[in-house]
Structure 1
Amino acid sequence: MSTHTPHAAVTALRTRPELPGGTDERFAGYGIMGMPFASGHYLALREMVASSLGPPYRTIWHRDPRGRWTIHTTTDPEASCPRYFGAAADVRRVRSIDIAWTGDADVEVTLGGVLHWRIGLASSPATRILTAMGAMMPLRAMTSPSVLTAMGPMAGAVLGAGRMRLCGRTPNGPRFRATPLQVWRVATAEASHRGQDLGAPGPLDVQAALGDFWLPQRGLFFVGQASFTSPNPSADDVIAARSEIAS
């Protein structure tokens, strides 16, 4: 298997997961940064293979055409994405999210009977440039707020993904730094949610954002790292109030 394929990159990450340095709350993982559908639905996927807060976990983010977000997480919300984004979404603890690689660049994601998502990935000149930058730059530079502040708009323009920010504030208050080290584009995709076909991928009429985190207007797959400052004490109360165990 080529070491330059998405599956190979994920396999290498799982084999040797490494957290970024520092004292913030830190994660290493991969997923679909975001993918819009012309129907108004939006999906995102995270598998964090290493976490400074606890065990690895998976999450699926779903936005319906009315703009309502739901975050499905396989671990305690206080130790996963809802810790930072739960104030802007409903939160559901789920037993499992299945991720199956069916080829070097093809993956299927299943959330029980709720979601089935097939994704085909590919590289492009833009993704190759950004991945090369991630390989050449020292990790310390790649996690610098000033570098990430400059990289976000550049990445959005190069990828044709709309507005992008790689650092800023989350809905719950903590500040985030996202460091994509390898990037691919979503070339093909189909998904159904509760039996409804979500239709063709396509940009939203109005680009979605959760706090300062802008969701890309085209499907992007990443392998990378992220860090967050700690939430204020009220954040856990917000998460707990909105969390439920999915049936």
Structure 2
Amino acid sequence: MNTQTPREVVADVRAHPRLADGDDERFAGYGVMGLPFASGHYLALRDMVASSIGPAYRSVWHRDPSGHWALYTTTAPDRSCPRYFGAGATTRHVPSINVGWADDRTFEVTMGETLRWTVELASSPATRLMTALSGATPTAAWRSRTILHAIGPMATVMLRAGRIRMCARTPNGPQFRGTPLYVWRVGDSRASLDGETFGAPAPLDEQISIGDIPLPQRGLFFVGRSAFDAPVPTDKSQQHLTDTGAPT
């Protein structure tokens, strides 16, 4: 059984970043899979400490109540999340996204004066079991799309956060494969963006997806790895880039 705290696991991953073997596009890191709020806003965080296609980076995803996505990233969009998830979203290249830990289970994400987002993590029997099963799964098994397709329904039942898929198509076309090695639930959270407060965490009226990937209806935090097929060059007219050169 894992006895490390979230902060300890993240510190270890940051100190010893390691990509999975393979010739696809691979990342290692941690983040909030997704977190819905009662106001209809939705946030996600990716802190990729290692990448096979570029430098480490951080990214915040925001979906407003009308359904519009904005992806904030600290490195070139074609070397970070917008490479796979940018179709139909506004992409904003920002100077920095900071993650600071207040204690072993609480951290704050800030993006200048634009975003303030506090996340408090907790364990549950389901997240502890999911972490234990992940640790017992052979590394080679995580590269099997058949096994990943089977793990998704199991995680759906265990975590009670709506439908979960470990292998699915992204908005830009490449297939995503996820390997969550550690999982915690979000016990509480507070967030504001551009002065607007999001309210309490709460499931949305209907579960949303980005591409073919369902996003959790309850906040989940992960430490793990992911892999993607390389994108096929296409018309990028659906991706809108804003380069924010000044501190945000």
TM-score of the aligned structures, taking structure 2 as reference length: 0.95
Residues of 2 paired with 1:119 and 1:223: CA distance? 15
Residues of 2 paired with 1:167 and 1:128: CA distance? 22
Q: Structure 2 unaligned segments of length 5 or more: list them.
A: none
**Which of 231, 241, 244 is the matching residue for 1:243?**
241
Residues of 2 paired with 1:92 and 1:167: CA distance? 26
Residues of 1 paired with 2:66 and 2:196: CA distance? 15
Residues of 1 paired with 2:203 and 2:112: CA distance? 27
Matched AA of 1:136: A
2:99 alignment partner in structure 1: 99
Superposed CA offset, 1:189-242 (max 9, x none)? 11111111100100111111011111100000000000000101116x347x51
1:226 alignment partner in structure 2: 226
2:62 alignment partner in structure 1: 62
2:144 alignment partner in structure 1: 144
Please tell me whether residue 133 in structure 1 is matched to residue 99 in structure 2: no
Residues of 2 paired with 1:41 and 1:213: CA distance? 18
RMSD of aligned residue pairs (Cα, Å)? 1.3
Residues of 2 paired with 1:243 and 1:52: CA distance? 23
Residues of 1 paired with 2:198 and 2:75: CA distance? 27
Count of matched residue positions in the alignment of Structure 1 and Structure 2? 244
2:184 alignment partner in structure 1: 184
Q: Structure 1 unaligned segments of length 5 or more: list them.
A: none
Deviating runs (4+, > 6 A) in structure 1? none
Matched AA of 1:93: H
Residues of 2 paired with 1:157 and 1:47: CA distance? 27
| Residues 155 and 164, structure 1, Cα contact 8 Å, conserved in 2 | yes
Residues of 1 paired with 2:3 and 2:14: CA distance? 14
Cα deviation for residue 143 of structure 1 reads 2.9
| Residues 57 and 73, structure 1, Cα contact 8 Å, conserved in 2 | yes
Residues of 1 paired with 2:50 and 2:221: CA distance? 18
1:11 alignment partner in structure 2: 11
Cα deviation for residue 142 of structure 1 reads 2.3
Residues of 2 paired with 1:199 and 1:211: CA distance? 26
Counterparts in 2 of 1:166 and 1:63: CA distance versus 1, 3 Å: same
**Residue aligned with 1:88, SS:** coil
1:115 alignment partner in structure 2: 115
Matched AA of 2:208: A
2:27 alignment partner in structure 1: 27
| Residues 86 and 238, structure 1, Cα contact 8 Å, conserved in 2 | no
Superposed CA offset, 1:53-87 (max 9, x none)? 11100000000000100000000000000000000
Aligned residues with identical type, % of pairs = 55
| Residues 3 and 9, structure 1, Cα contact 8 Å, conserved in 2 | no
Matched AA of 1:208: I
1:215 alignment partner in structure 2: 215
Please tell me whether residue 156 in structure 1 is matched to residue 147 in structure 2: no
Matched AA of 2:243: I
Residues of 2 paired with 1:238 and 1:48: CA distance? 26
**Residue aligned with 1:75, SS:** coil
Cα deviation for residue 88 of structure 1 reads 3.0
2:87 alignment partner in structure 1: 87
Larger deviation, residues 43-52 vs 147-156: 147-156
TM-score of the aligned structures, taking structure 1 as reference length: 0.96
